[in-house]
Each structure stands twice: as structure tokens, then as C-alpha cells.
């Protein structure tokens, strides 16, 4: 018979709370899924840093289940993780609806910080692809009035650091192939939906993180990762953003995942460990 010690602190364990409604103002229920460290019922009150995760979806409705197995590891390591959905550009909700929604989710979570054991002063954005674009915008447009809804009006939607994975940084820089090509038709269709029916270069610029990187501003820390074999969002998108952030004095780290495409083989335990190390440093856990 093997005897092992019990785990009275529930260390390393997490709990999953799906389908939490964070917004109703738009006439629909917009939800998030929450992963939290397990806490003993009789233990002292505790709070944890918050990761706001936005799954890539080409600004459609995200598949929030895709990264749940990986996100659970962060919850087991002492983070509250919110995987956030947002309105869908294909359902008549063009930009900036997706950004407004995720900012509303952050304000909801800060408002309910005690209930969900969140430290409201340690909030970090983490996103992939279109969710990476969103996470970058969260880090660069904190508390900007034009991206706020009326819900939780007196609460901040700023974040303390950003992890961006292959997110589009400059929507105006996507190449315009010949208009007869299939690639151009797909790009045009996506950005037409994104803009609400007509290609609007000013709106594309407004939703491009790189144009918010300006000299004289202060910046939260950024960790940006991109595969150099990505054919959906070119590696140059991240490279140009990193260059601009460095020129403006930002704290930015850049990871090239060699041979990685868009999702898929981009992911590894090594990369996730780097992400955790970055977050632990920001949260004061190491």
C-alpha cells in the first residue's frame, strides 16, 4: 500500500465556471468562461492575478474551448483566467464591437473581483490572431472613452501587461493582391464585414494597434510571439510592431517560433512556460 499526503490547500487544482453573462446592454447575453484556482472553504480569503484570454476567430464568434486545456494550467498555477466571447462581425456587429465587449468584460470582472477572487490591480491580456489584435488594443487604449459601453462606467478597463500571439498589428498593411484573385476576395469579404458593409480605411486604421504606439506615451510590458511560416498573418506584422514599440521606449519581448504556422505547431510546452514566466514576473510571483 502506498501512502501519500493529502492536499489541504488544494494547490494545483482549478475549477471551471462556464457561461457567465457579463453584458446584456446590447440586447444579447455576452458571456465568458472562468477558470479559477480551487480554494479551501475554511481557508483565508485569497485573490489571484487575472488573465483575460481572447481566442482568435477572425472577429467572428470565438471557439472558447480551443485553449481551455492549456489555460487550465494557468489556473492551477494561481491565476484566474477568463476566456471571453464577443459579438460577431458576421451578425451585424462590426468593429469596434469586439473591443468594446472585451473591455466591458474587464470592467465586469473588476466589479465582481471579490466574488471571483480577482486582484483588480493585476490584470493581463492574452490573445491569439484576432484575439491578439484585441489584446494589443487593450494594452494601448486603456480607458479610452470611445471604446466604452455604458456598463460599469466608473471602473477601469486598462490592463497591466499584454501577451500577443500572431495578432494583426496593422490592418491597413495587408497586401492588396489582384482583385480577381481568390485571396483578395476572401480578404475583401472579411474586412467588409469588419467595417460594417463598406471598406473603411479610417476604421481599419483605428483598429490597428501600431498606430497607437507614439513617442512620449507610457506603455505596459508586451510579449509578442509569431511563427515565421504563418501564411494567415504575416510575420512582418509583429516585427514592425516590435520595432515601433522599441523605438518608443516600450518594454517589449519578441519570440519567433521557427517553422510555425497560424495556431497548430505554434504551440509547445516551452512557449507556454515562457508565457507563464512573463506573467509571473509581471504579477510579482517570481
CATH classification of the domain holding 232 = 3.40.50.1820
Instruction: Report which of 70, 29, 30 is spatially closest to residue 51, judged by C-alpha positions.
Output: 70
Cis omega (within 30 of 0) on the bond before 29?
Answer: no
From first to last of its 286 residues, the chain has per-residue pLDDT tens of 999 999 999 999 999 999 999 999 999 999 999 999 999 988 788 999 999 999 999 999 999 999 999 999 999 999 999 999 999 999 999 999 999 999 999 999 999 999 999 999 999 999 999 999 999 999 999 999 999 999 999 999 999 999 999 999 999 987 565 555 666 678 889 999 999 999 999 999 999 999 999 999 999 999 999 999 999 999 999 999 999 999 999 999 999 999 999 999 999 999 999 999 999 999 999 7
Q: How far apart are CA 88 and CA 221, in angstroms?
A: 29
C-alpha cell recorded at residue 140: 494601448
CA dist 81 → 54, 76, 93, 182, 240 (Å): 11, 10, 25, 38, 29
CA angle 27, 201, 184 (to 5 degrees): 95
Task: Examine residue 8 and state whether it is found in any structural domain, yes or no.
Answer: no
* Residue 202 belongs to a domain: yes
Number of helices followed by number of strands (H, E) in the chain: 7, 8
- How deeply is 174 buried, as exposed, middle or buried, from its count of CB atoms within 10 A (0-12, 13-18, 19+)? middle
- What secondary structure does DSSP assign to 206-250, as a single string? HT-GGGG--TT-----EEEEEETT-SSS-HHHHHHHHHHHHHTT-
Residue 9 belongs to some domain of the structure: no
Q: Tell me whether residue 2 is in a domain.
A: no
Name every residue whose Cβ is closer than 8 Å to that of residue 111 and which is 6 or more positions away in sequence: 152, 155
**CA 57 distance to own-chain centroid:** 12
- State the residue range of the domain holding 214: 14-283
Chain-centroid distance of CA 222 in Å reads 12
Number of independent structural domains in the chain: 1
pTM above 0.85, yes or no: yes
- Whether residue 185 is contained in a domain is answered as yes
Residues with Cβ within 8 Å of residue 62, at least 6 apart in sequence? 54, 55, 56, 85, 86, 131
Amino acid at each position: 500500500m502506498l501512502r501519500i499526503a493529502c492536499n489541504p490547500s488544494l494547490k494545483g487544482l482549478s475549477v471551471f465556471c462556464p457561461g457567465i453573462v457579463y453584458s446584456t446592454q446590447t440586447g444579447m447575453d455576452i458571456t465568458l468562461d472562468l477558470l479559477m484556482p480551487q480554494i479551501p472553504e475554511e481557508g483565508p480569503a485569497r485573490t489571484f492575478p487575472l488573465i483575460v484570454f481572447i481566442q482568435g476567430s477572425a472577429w467572428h464568434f470565438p471557439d472558447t474551448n480551443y485553449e481551455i486545456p492549456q489555460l487550465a494550467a494557468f489556473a492551477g498555477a494561481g491565476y484566474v483566467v477568463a476566456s471571453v466571447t464577443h459579438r460577431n462581425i458576421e451578425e451585424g456587429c462590426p468593429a469596434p464591437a469586439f473591443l468594446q465587449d472585451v473591455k466591458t468584460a474587464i470592467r465586469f470582472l473588476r466589479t465582481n473581483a471579490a466574488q471571483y477572487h480577482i486582484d483588480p490591480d493585476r490584470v493581463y491580456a492574452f490573445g491569439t490572431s484576432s484575439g491578439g489584435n484585441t489584446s494589443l488594443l487593450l494594452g494601448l487604449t486603456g480607458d479610452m472613452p470611445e471604446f466604452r459601453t455604458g456598463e460599469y462606467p466608473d471602473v477601469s478597463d486598462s490592463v497591466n501587461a499584454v501577451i500577443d500571439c500572431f495578432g494583426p498589428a496593422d490592418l491597413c498593411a495587408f497586401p492588396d493582391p489582384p482583385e480577381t484573385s481568390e485571396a483578395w476576395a476572401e480578404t475583401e469579404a472579411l474586412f467588409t464585414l469588419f467595417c460594417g458593409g463598406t471598406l473603411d480605411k479610417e476604421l481599419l486604421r483605428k483598429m490597428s494597434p501600431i498606430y497607437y504606439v507614439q513617442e512620449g506615451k507610457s506603455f505596459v510590458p508586451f510579449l509578442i510571439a509569431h511563427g515565421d511560416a504563418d501564411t494567415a498573418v504575416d510575420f512582418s506584422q509583429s516585427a514592425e510592431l516590435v520595432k515601433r514599440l522599441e523605438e518608443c521606449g516600450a518594454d517589449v519581448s519578441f519570440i519567433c517560433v521557427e517553422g510555425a504556422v497560424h495556431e497548430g505547431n505554434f504551440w509547445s510546452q516551452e512557449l507556454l512556460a515562457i508565457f507563464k514566466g512573463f506573467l509571473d514576473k509581471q504579477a510579482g510571483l517570481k
